[in-house]
Amino acid sequence: MTSNSKNRQIQHLTSEVVYRTRLQAICNRINSASDLDEILIDLKDDITSLFAADRVTLYIVNAENRELVSRFKSANDIEEIHLPLSAKSIAGWCALKNRLVNVRNAYDIAELAAIDPALRFDERWDMQTGFTTRQVLAHPIVFKNYLLGVIQLMNRKAGSAFVEIDERSLKEVSDILGIALYTQKRLTKRYATGKFNLLLQNHRLAQNELEKAIIQARQKNVAIESILISDLKIAKKDVLASLSQFYDVETVEFTQNIPIPGELLAGLKVPFLRNHFWVPLREEDNRIVIAVDNPHDQQRIGEMRALFPGKKFKFCVALKQDILEIIKFFSQDEKQMADIEEILSVMRKESNEIEEAENEVREEDNAVVKLVNKIILDACARGASDIHIEPFPGKENTRVRIRIDGDCTLYQTIPFNYRSAVVSRIKIMSDLDITERRKPQDGKIKFEKFGGKNIELRVATLPTQGGMEDVVMRILDGNEPLPLDQMGFSESNCKNFLEAISNPYGIIFVCGPTGSGKTTTLHSALKHLNTTKTKIWTAEDPVEITQKGLRQVQVHPKIGLDFAAAMRSFLRADPDVIMVGEMRDRETTSIGIQASLTGHLVLSTLHTNSAPESITRLLDLGMDPFNFSDAILCILAQRLVRTLCKNCRQSYHLSLEEYTSLAREYGLDYFNDRVNIPFKDDLMLNKPVGCDDCNRNGYRGRMALHELLMGTDEIKLLIQNTAKIDEIRTRAIKDGMTTLKQDGIEKIFNGHLDLLQVRKVCIR
Ligand SMILES: [Zn+2]
């Protein structure tokens, strides 16, 4: 062999190797393509360049219609070519006969006839696009005797015919495509469209819309779900329902109510979670609940296994966006997350050493100090009224719940081995005996002392089952009380209450259960009276609201300074107005009534349910009916009720049935006179919906319901006669008192409330 021919042979071999490598690369990419569109669009250039062809078209068989379909991207749309499985086109014939076709000139009738007399070239696409088809090489795509499609190359660049090596290579590509399309088809059934099957079934989404969305999502590099929601305006809940059905797991959305799972976040990095789109939510029945956008993703499940060795998981499917929001919420901002991460990782490190070294907590234990401070600050930021620290025996983690607008919600969990450290820290902050763990204790935290905001907390500890110790902290915010006209009084109640508190002497009671806002109302009244001309003494336990100008005394029963003692001292201290936190015993109450009869305005609260009931309760306590009837100005019963979220409440047409039932609850006799809203077809009320502002529960904030019983002459007479509670109530309503429920129903008609919430707080 000459060296020349050897060189040629080497050259030939080299280019053969390069060619084989490129062909192999294409086959590999087909194999690893994650969806059909990737094969259709991404590989186009590679294939045309390998075969030195102008165009490549991939047709997929649509067995139902016995046709070939090819999708291609035009300027701004995805278009489709449809060809019947017949001899009327080259690709159609190739599919029909399951045979390779190689023609030099598609317009050469004789050349086509030599292959099959029936074979035609379909000129429509050339005519539409201005392209002139010459050489065509088409190969059927078959897998296990299933015809899946046709791959067709057009116009060899040099103008020469496709050669044998092209035929062999195209067969190889077709074989790989066969496998890929076959698995793809199976997967498409299970995955790509499967995820959205429910939407397709319910006609929320059409197949072609979904296909467009898939391509758009790939182009914009966003999740298909977000295209469905933002561009196709499909409701998020419908998308989630479809995902839930497909993955057969529950769904989760971001809300501000999601408790922060402190012990699960320890050691996890925010950027990692963000990049991998999963986040642990809580531990439930020994399984870690995880929000993830694809609960079938084995790779990420592997990550979770590595990070939580030996744990079982329960997955919830969530949209990527929600997962990011949850991560953001858990981490507050970067810096804070760094804090909590640091706090918890220090805890985790130390926990091995400490394990259950119950009493040993050092005040300088930085992580615990930070954690307690963070709990208090977070609770304040979320507008909570109380913080509950609830440890459990054994290895169960400590629960921290906070009360917002009257309801408790889980705020966070703390690793179990830190339960006593946290409780001890709070006891140190509130000057309690940290060695006494069997008896309840109360104290107070002045948060300012610990480098925090100007917040005060009243602290109560209680021994609980299993040798544990619970802590409950009431947040006493130093906020200004609301002016009376912002307290949600109805017009007539506001006028009457102002009139009552404008008296120079007499006694006024605000009544209701704990947490009904009695103290707030009293302070609003005091704010109205608080001028330089007037001397106001208050005795409170605790002092929850402070006002400049008031002289406020914290009672201290342990040293003998109880409400009665404070009252007696006030009487020697030249008062105009006296406010007493609570009157629950005979002594305090009778001093109060005496004081009000000797020229002082006295305000206090009672733990009674209704205004008429308060009268009988006071008489039962042994009050002199004549003194009491002289003293009484008014009794205000109050409840706090959750208001509809102003952002999302929705008005709706009130049905006649609902109108009648509301009128009946109000009392038909009074409804027409006092409410005076006749039924009309366009009468609208509001109902809850739920949005981000209100944590999706439809209610946000609270307002007061009032029942104001005025000390009219008729009422005074009934008191003197120690009348029955029903008599007093009937009389009071006749005199114009609206009951708590009536006030609630009026506020329903004003659009602030719904009946559900009103019923929750008042029986009558
Ligand atoms: Zn809302």
Whether residues 312 and 429 share a domain: the answer is no
User: What spacing in Å lies between the alpha carbon of 533 and ligand 1's midpoint?
Assistant: 45
Query: Residues 644, 754: contact at Cβ < 8 Å?
Result: yes
User: Domain check: are 513 and 468 in the same one?
Assistant: no
Does the pLDDT of residue 373 top 90, yes or no? no
Position 96 in a domain = yes
Per-residue pLDDT at 191: 41
Instruction: Report how far ligand 1's centroid is from the alpha carbon of 256 (Å).
Output: 12
Phi then psi dihedrals of residue 164, to 5 deg? -60, -40
Q: How many CA atoms lie within 13 A of 90 on its CB side?
A: 31
Distance 688 CA to ligand 1 centre (A): 8
Instruction: Decide if 8 is inside a domain.
Output: no
Cα-based distances in Å from 404 to 228, 257, 326, 337, 744: 35, 10, 20, 23, 21
pLDDT at 33: 66
- 595 and 721 in a single domain? The answer is yes
Expressed in angstroms and rounded, the spacing between residue 21 Cα and the centre of ligand 1 is 60
Q: Please, which residues have CB less than 5 A from ligand 1, an ion?
A: 645, 647-648, 691, 693-694
Q: State the distance from the centre of ligand 1 to the C-alpha of 646, rounded, in angstroms.
A: 7
Q: Which two tokens stand for residue 360?
A: 């040993």
Q: How far, in Å, is the centroid of ligand 1 from the Cα of 493?
A: 29
pLDDT band at 561; cut points 50, 70, 90: very high
Facing residues of 58 across strands?
151
Q: 687 C-alpha vs ligand 1 centroid, how far in Å?
A: 11
Out of 452, 476, 500, a domain closes at 476
With contact defined as beta carbons under 8 Å apart, do 124 and 110 qualify?
Answer: no
For 290, the enclosing helix (H) or strand (E) is strand 287-292
Check whether residue 464 and residue 492 sit in a common domain: no
Higher pLDDT, 317 or 454: 317
pLDDT, tens digit, for every residue of 322-372?
A: 999 898 888 764 444 445 555 666 565 555 444 444 444 444 467 788 888
CA 490 to ligand 1 center in whole angstroms: 24
How many angstroms separate the alpha carbon of residue 686 from the centre of ligand 1?
A: 12
Distance 425 CA to ligand 1 centre (A): 37
Cα of 702 to ligand 1 centre, how many Å? 13
Which of the listed residues 316, 331, 346 is the one where a domain comes to its end? 331
| Within-domain flag for 339 | no
Q: What is the CATH number of the domain that holds 306?
A: 3.30.300.160
- Residue 2 and residue 9: Cα distance in Å, rounded? 11
Could you read off the pLDDT of 32-81 as tens digits, one per residue? 666 655 566 667 888 888 888 988 888 888 766 678 888 666 555 556 77
Residue 260 has pLDDT above 90, yes or no: no
**Is 678 within the bounds of a domain?**
yes
For residues 375 and 308, membership in a common domain is answered with no
Q: How far is the CA of 402 from the centre of ligand 1 (A)?
A: 20
State the CB neighbour count (10 A cutoff) for residue 452: 17
CA of 229 to the centre of ligand 1 (A): 20
Compute the distance from residue 644 Cα to the ligand 1 centre, in Å: 8
Distance (Å, whole) CA 88 – CA 67: 11
Residue-wise burial string across 269-290, b where 16 or more C-beta atoms lie within 10 A, e elsewhere: ebeebbebbbbbbbbeeeebbb
Both 71 and 135 in a single domain? yes
Residue 565 pLDDT: 94
Residue 258 CA, ligand 1 centroid: distance in Å: 16
Rounded to the nearest angstrom, the distance between the alpha carbon of 250 and the centre of ligand 1 is 23
- Give a yes or no: residue 623 inside a domain: yes
For position 19, what pLDDT does the model report?
Answer: 83
Which two tokens mark 718? 């009934």
From ligand 1's centre to the CA of 326, what distance in Å? 18
Give the DSSP letter string of 195-243: GGHHHHHTTSS-HHHHHHHHHHHHHHTS-HHHHHHHTS---HHHHHHHH
Q: What is the Å distance from ligand 1's center to 650 Cα?
A: 10
Q: Are residues 554 and 682 in the same domain?
A: yes
Cis peptide before 625 (omega within 30 of 0): no
**Can you give the CATH number for the domain in which 181 is found?**
3.30.450.40
644 and 683 housed in the same domain: yes
Q: How many other C-beta atoms are found inside a 10 Å radius of the C-beta of residue 262?
A: 25
Provide the residue range defining the domain that includes 422: 355-476
Task: Convert 617-646 into a string of H (helix), E (strand) and C (coil).
Answer: HHHHCCCCHHHHHHHEEEEEEEEEEEEECC
* Ligand 1 centroid, distance to 697 Cα (angstroms): 7
**pLDDT beyond 70 at 193:** no
Q: How far is the CA of 523 from the centre of ligand 1 (A)?
A: 30
Residues 621 and 495 in one domain: yes
Task: Please check whether residue 605 is in contact with residue 583, taking contact to mean a CB–CB distance below 8 angstroms.
Answer: yes
CA of 274 to the centre of ligand 1 (A): 27
Does 340 reside within a domain? Answer: no
> What pLDDT, in 10s, does the model give residues 102-145?
999 999 999 999 999 999 998 888 887 788 899 999 999 988 87
Distance in Å, CA 393 to ligand 1 centroid: 38
Residue 449 CA, ligand 1 centroid: distance in Å: 37
Q: Which residues contact 319 (CB under 8 A, 6 or more apart)?
A: 223, 225, 226, 229, 236, 239, 240, 253, 293
Residue 353 is predicted with a pLDDT of 45
Is residue 292 situated within a structural domain?
A: yes
In one-letter notation, the amino acid at residue 718 is L
Task: Tell me the H-state helices in 530-624.
Answer: 563-571, 586-597, 611-620
Which conformational region is residue 454 in: left (phi greater than 0), alpha (psi within -120 to 50 degrees), or beta? beta
- Shared domain for 212 and 320, answered yes or no, is no
Query: Of 550, 544, 585, which is closest to residue 564 (Cα–Cα)?
Result: 585
Both 372 and 322 in a single domain? no
Ligand 1 centroid from CA 374, angstroms: 27
Burial 647-671 (b: 16+ CB within 10 A, else e): ebbeeeebeeeebeebbebbeeebb
> Residue 460 in contact with residue 440, Cβ under 8 Å?
yes
Ligand 1 centre and the CA of 752: distance in Å?
13
Q: CB within 8 A of 419, min separation 6: which ones? A: 391, 398, 468
653 CA from centroid of ligand 1 (Å) = 20
Same domain, 586 and 437: no
On the question of pLDDT at 11 being above 50, the answer is: yes
Q: Using CA atoms, how far apart are residues 292 and 247, in angstroms rounded to an integer?
A: 11
Is-contact 604 506, C-beta < 8 A?
no
pLDDT digits (tens, 9 = 90+) for 593-602: 999 999 999 9
Q: How far is the centre of ligand 1, averaged over its atoms, from the C-alpha of 626 (Å)?
A: 51
Range among 164-173, 331-340, 556-565, 702-711 with highest mean pLDDT value: 702-711
CA 645 to ligand 1 centroid distance, Å: 4
Cβ(399)–Cβ(410) below 8 Å: yes
What is the separation, in whole angstroms, between the first and last Cα of the chain?
113
- Per the structure, the count of domains in the chain is 5
Rounded to whole angstroms, the Cα distance separating 470 from 122 reads: 83
For position 63, what pLDDT does the model report?
67
Task: Provide the H-helix boundaries in 647-754.
Answer: 656-666, 668-670, 713-720, 725-734, 740-749
**pLDDT of amino acid 2:** 60
Q: How far is the CA of 387 from the centre of ligand 1 (A)?
A: 24
Interval between CA 751 and ligand 1 midpoint (Å): 14
Sign of CA dihedral 676, 678, 681, 687: positive
Q: How many CA atoms lie within 13 A of 592 on its CB side?
A: 29
- Ligand 1 centroid to residue 682 C-alpha, Å: 24
DSSP type of residue 667: -
What per-residue confidence (pLDDT) applies to 347? 60
Over the chain, what is the mean pLDDT? 85
Backbone angles phi, psi at 211, to 5 degrees: -60, -40
Q: Is 413 helix (H, G, I), strand (E, B) or coil?
A: strand
The residues near 741 (Cβ < 8 Å, ≥ 6 apart) are: 665, 666, 705, 758, 762, 763, 764
Distance 259 CA to ligand 1 centre (A): 19
Task: Give Cβ neighbours of residue 131 (< 8 Å, ≥ 6 apart).
Answer: 55, 125
CATH of the domain at 714: 3.40.50.300
Max mean pLDDT range (164-168, 212-216, 740-744): 740-744
CA of residue 648 to ligand 1 center, whole Å: 4
SS3 of residue 476 by DSSP? strand
- Is residue 727 assigned to a domain? yes
How many angstroms does the Cα of residue 546 sit away from the middle of ligand 1? 32
**ipTM of this model?**
0.98
Ranked by mean pLDDT, the top range of 140-154, 300-314, 426-440, 719-733 is: 719-733
CATH number of the domain enclosing 442: 3.30.450.90
Residue 532 CA to residue 528 CA, distance in Å, equals 12
Give distance in angstroms: CA of 227 to centre of ligand 1. Answer: 25
CA of 436 to the centre of ligand 1 (A): 45
User: What separation in Å is there between the alpha carbon of 204 and the centre of ligand 1?
Assistant: 25
